[in-house]
Amino acid sequence: MIRLLQIEFIKLWNNRASKILIISYFFILTSIALVAAIKFDIGPVKFHMAEIGIFNFPYIWHFNTFITAFFKLFLAIVIVSMMANEYSNKTIKQNLIDGLSKKEFILSKFLTVVSFALISTIFVFIVSLILGLMYSDYDELSIIFSDLEFIVAFFFKLLGFFSFCLFLGILVKRSAFALGFLILWQVLEGIIRGLIRWKLFDGDTTETIMGFFPLQSMFNLIKEPFTRLEAVQTVANQVGEHINLNYRVHWYEIVIVMAWTAIFIYLSYALLKKRDL
């Protein structure tokens, strides 16, 4: 296992584009939180992000995982191109000839993806913890470590998404087209949602069905955190609107994403096994 990770590491770390993307990804993960903490303090209007409660435990777990998840696109590019490059350089062929089995090849890519997701999760956990300790109004241990399911959900969300990217890389074999396909898929899920809502079911049922689609299921894992903010809820209450949303991470949502992860990795393997190189 270590050997497979080392193999991938040599391939990735010596590629300047990948290296820059990986470094900037982690840099942005760190700095986005820090910037948010200071930036809003300046100006004639005293508006401190920290004071409206976004850095309060346990809300910060929800907020930070939701926001940082958007930056996964950086790594998506790295993953898609690390897969597609193997095809365009024909190095996948050479790897197999040199004695890597097809299973090991997929496993080495999957392990890399798991590492990416894991490191990102640990990173977000640490950054959020530090930010929270600095700005949170509550600092009892029991509050700090509540709602940690968002961190778990974050891990599975990234893992699922990266596995999808991996599969697209193998399927399409060209990084640009694979990324295009990813966007196309997003649009496609939107169209399907529209069609189901229009012709078949009511809003709630449509949402339930959409929850089984890969990208939507990944998005569902961490719901938007904004309406949960006290400030927003106060405003909503004042205009007579009552917001009642379910913010929790549900176990069945994680199961759906895990199932997609398994499907994508298995399909990647099946595809590689079936193809003549």
Partner 1 sequence: MSTILTVNNLTKKFGHLTAVKDLSFSIEKGHVYGILGPNGSGKSTTLGIVLNVVNKTSGNFHWFDGSVSTHEALKKVGAIIERPNFYPYMTAVQNLKLVCKIKEVSEDKIEEKLELVGLLDRKNSKFKTYSLGMKQRLAIASALLNDPEILILDEPTNGLDPQGIHQIRQIITKIAAEGTTILLASHLLDEVEKVCSHVIILRKGEKLYAGRVDGMLASHGFFELKCDDMKKLVSTLKANPSFLEIKQENGLVTAFLKEEMDAKHLNESLFKNGIVLSHLVKRKESLEEQFLTLTKNQSN
Residues that bind partner 1 (CB under 8 A): 3, 6-7, 10-11, 14-16, 89-91, 93-102, 104, 273-277
247 Cβ contact list (under 8 Å, min separation 6): 62, 223, 225, 228
For partner 1, give the closer residue by CB, 17 or 38.
Answer: 17
Cα distance between residue 18 and residue 22, in whole Å: 6
For partner 1, give the closer residue by CB, 16 or 242.
Answer: 16
HEC readout, 131-161: HHHHHCCCCCHHHHCCCCHHHHHHHHHHHHH
Cα distance between residue 185 and residue 243, in whole Å: 31
Q: Output the smallest distance, CB 21 to partner 1, in A.
A: 14
Q: Output the smallest distance, CB 67 to partner 1, in A.
A: 33
Q: Output the smallest distance, CB 220 to partner 1, in A.
A: 38
For partner 1, give the closer residue by CB, 54 or 170.
Answer: 170
CB 222 within 8 Å of CB 249: yes
Q: Output the smallest distance, CB 4 to partner 1, in A.
A: 9
Q: Output the smallest distance, CB 263 to partner 1, in A.
A: 22
* CA quadruple 146, 150, 153, 158: dihedral sign: negative
Q: Output the smallest distance, CB 18 to partner 1, in A.
A: 9
For partner 1, give the closer residue by CB, 4 or 168.
Answer: 4
Closest to 37 measured CA to CA, from 11, 14, 67, 17: 67
Q: Output the smallest distance, CB 94 to partner 1, in A.
A: 4
For partner 1, give the closer residue by CB, 111 or 152.
Answer: 111
For partner 1, give the closer residue by CB, 110 or 219.
Answer: 110
* Cis previous bond, 214, omega within 30: no
Cα distance between residue 188 and residue 201, in whole Å: 18
Range list of H helices, 173-242: 175-195, 203-210, 214-221, 230-238
Cα distance between residue 160 and residue 259, in whole Å: 9
Exposed, middle or buried, 50 (CB in 10 Å: 0-12/13-18/19+)? buried
User: How long, in residues, is the chain?
Assistant: 277
For partner 1, give the closer residue by CB, 18 or 163.
Answer: 18
